[in-house]
Structure 1
Amino acid sequence: MYVSEIDMLSPHSLLECLYLLENDKASFRLLAGGTDAVVRMKEGKWQHDCWLNLNNIDELKFIAIEKDEIHIGPLATHSEIISSPLLQDHADVLVQASREVGAAQMQNMGTIGGNIGTASPAGDTIPALFALGASIELTSITGKRQVSAEDFFIGPGKTVAFPNEIITKISFKIRGKHDIGIFQKLGPRKAQSISIVNVAISLSMKEGTKECLGGRIAFGSVGPTVLRAKKCEAMLSLGELSNDMISNISSVAWKEVMPISDIRASASYRRDMASALLERGLYRLMKRWADNERKPL
């Protein structure tokens, strides 16, 4: 199969797209930014009867706030996420993750919906969505349903979405005044999108102290899906996030992640780097928190 030998339909509305998915017997693959598509087809993967190009569906292109929630359309590009003042203020961990999605050309083309739908354990935005407690809206011709980001992914390249469903919205609560987040990534080079290990951290801090009231920690590239480090999270509120406490938390991460060895890194190396990235991320967050606390009102 040559990459050029493909059939493609380009619906102009969500309704048209849903009717195609519901009523046509063809095997469809949804195409958003398409940054992974050519590579996967050259590898002999993603061979479908027809591609559905979503880029003409303006209904899926938005970044908005409604009451106490942020809503992002699946066709929002990584560049749009990076440049959004709304997300800079309320979802810094997602902005930082989008900055790490390859080079500028990939950020301009790639979409958050595509990153989610590809369901790679190394997808950079996915740990950030775990850290934000995000939910994913799936829509079919018969209705909508909400799935938490943590329940959405069931294996490498596999999700709970049915063939007749499409991602229509990503949502998460507006962060609190004392919430801070960070995304850390280890990759072979900056322009390459595949992470060897990545981690997203979100903390809720107690004003005027180094005490953490709770938080979320999510690792990518250390298991078949993105992994919530719940043992590490449980330690966040045991006392002040001192240097010793941060060191103890990061050492638990070494045992909690479940990486494999592959062509990019050994399992042992990934464990070491997961621990190191978490430690560095927590140190950086505490420095930022201390710097903000010292700022004059």
Structure 2
Amino acid sequence: MLISEIEMISPSTLEECLLILSTEGTELRLIAGGTDAVVRMKEGKWLPEAWININRIKELRHITEKDGAIHIGPLTTHSDICRSTLLQKKADVLVEAAREVGAVQMQNMGTIGGNIGTASPAGDTIPALYVLNAAVELQSVNGTRIIPINQFFTGPGRTILKQNEMITNIIIQPQADNEIGIFQKLGPRKAQSISIVNVAISLKMGKDRQCLEGKIAFGSVAPTIIRAKKCEALLTIQPLTDDIIENIAKVAWKEVMPITDVRATARYRRDMSSALLERGLYRLMRRWESK
């Protein structure tokens, strides 16, 4: 099947889109920015009978704070995230991750819903969503369900999303005044390529360098994003001096589970996971001390 032979359907409302998705016996795929879809089509993958272009559904593009949580529509672009004063103040780690998603043109077109739906272990915004305790809202004509982000992915390119469902909202927990976050990425070319390793860190700080609670999520080192639980447990034992940070980073080397592929060896990914975590924690401490 040629790309030009695939039908394109463009609903203008969420209700209309959900009705189309409920059609049985037809292979359908959603498309928004198309930054991943176009590449997959050129590779001979992702060739459904019809594409559903959801760009006209305005209600799916928003960043709002409601009932103590921040709601982000799936059509919100990475540039929208970077420009949001709300997210800059209450979800800095997500803003930093969005800034690393490809070149500016890709940030303008690519959407957070697409980044999640593609389910790549190297997706840059996904580790940030993990440390923000995100949940994904899924809708179909049959109803709505809300799934914690760590339960949404089942493997590379695979999710629990049903054929008749779509992502309609991403819900994150805002950072408190004493919380700081950072996103670190290693790629062959800065901001232009798939991550070899990435890491998101969020820390809730007390006096001096005492961490009260910490969350660390690595990407591109396992079939799905992983939380570094052993490293997290060490964050709160004693103040985060430079020596303690170095020791925590060494634990990350054993905690990640990377593979060797055309972009990097497993050992290199382990080394870089440790290095990125160490650098990220150093930078967070400098940032905290300058507040």
TM-score computed with the length of structure 1 as normaliser: 0.96
Q: Give the Cα–Cα distance (whole angstroms) in 1 for the partners of residues 219 and 192 of structure 2.
A: 15
1:51 is aligned to: 51
2:276 is aligned to: 277
1:212 is aligned to: 211
1:227 is aligned to: 226
Measure how far apart 1:25 and its partner are: 2.4
SS state of the match for residue 257, structure 2? Answer: coil
Q: Deviations over 1:56-107 (max 9, x none)?
A: 1011010001131100000000000000000000010000000000000000
SS state of the match for residue 15, structure 1? Answer: helix
Residues 254 and 275, structure 1, Cα contact 8 Å, conserved in 2: yes
Letter matched to residue 37 of structure 2: A
Q: Give the Cα–Cα distance (whole angstroms) in 2 for the partners of residues 84 and 22 of structure 1.
A: 34
Q: Give the Cα–Cα distance (whole angstroms) in 1 for the partners of residues 191 and 279 of structure 2.
A: 22
Measure how far apart 1:193 and its partner are: 3.3
Q: CA RMSD for the aligned pairs?
A: 0.9
Residues 35 and 106, structure 2, Cα contact 8 Å, conserved in 1: yes
Q: Deviations over 1:173-228 (max 9, x none)?
A: 2211100000000000024230000000000001x321001111000000100111
1:171-190 aligned within 5 A: 171-190=171-190
Letter matched to residue 32 of structure 2: A
Measure how far apart 1:235 and its partner are: 0.7
Letter matched to residue 149 of structure 2: A
Paired-residue identity, %: 64
Q: Give the Cα–Cα distance (whole angstroms) in 1 for the partners of residues 112 and 38 of structure 2.
A: 18
Say whether 1:94 aligns with 2:94: yes
1:154-193 aligned within 5 A: 154-193=154-193
Letter matched to residue 66 of structure 1: K
2:60 is aligned to: 60
Residues 103 and 190, structure 1, Cα contact 8 Å, conserved in 2: no
Q: Deviations over 1:41-62 (max 9, x none)?
A: 1111112111111101011010
Residues 71 and 171, structure 1, Cα contact 8 Å, conserved in 2: yes
1:74-93 aligned within 5 A: 74-93=74-93
Off by >2 Å, runs of 4+ in structure 1: 1-5
Q: Give the Cα–Cα distance (whole angstroms) in 1 for the partners of residues 119 and 177 of structure 2.
A: 31
Measure how far apart 1:24 and its partner are: 4.1
Letter matched to residue 45 of structure 2: K
1:17-56 aligned within 5 A: 17-56=17-56
Residues 121 and 220, structure 1, Cα contact 8 Å, conserved in 2: yes
TM-score computed with the length of structure 2 as normaliser: 0.98
The alpha-carbon distance between structure 1 residues 6 and 267, as it changes in their structure 2 partners (threshold 3 A), is same
Measure how far apart 1:113 and its partner are: 0.1
Q: Give the Cα–Cα distance (whole angstroms) in 1 for the partners of residues 191 and 232 of structure 2.
A: 31
1:240 is aligned to: 239
1:250 is aligned to: 249
Residues 28 and 48, structure 2, Cα contact 8 Å, conserved in 1: yes
Q: Give the Cα–Cα distance (whole angstroms) in 1 for the partners of residues 282 and 263 of structure 2.
A: 27
Letter matched to residue 113 of structure 1: G
SS state of the match for residue 244, structure 1? Answer: helix
Q: Give the Cα–Cα distance (whole angstroms) in 2 for the partners of residues 191 and 184 of structure 1.
A: 11
User: Is there any run of 5+ residues in structure 2 with no aligned partner, and where?
Assistant: none
Measure how far apart 1:239 and its partner are: 0.5
SS state of the match for residue 283, structure 2? Answer: helix
Say whether 1:70 aligns with 2:34: no
Letter matched to residue 122 of structure 1: A
Residues 3 and 47, structure 2, Cα contact 8 Å, conserved in 1: no
2:104 is aligned to: 104
SS state of the match for residue 4, structure 1? Answer: helix
Letter matched to residue 146 of structure 1: I
Q: Which moved more, 1:177-186 or 1:16-25?
A: 16-25
Q: Which moved more, 1:184-193 or 1:222-231?
A: 184-193
Residues 138 and 167, structure 2, Cα contact 8 Å, conserved in 1: yes
1:200 is aligned to: 200
Q: Give the Cα–Cα distance (whole angstroms) in 1 for the partners of residues 60 and 139 of structure 2.
A: 12
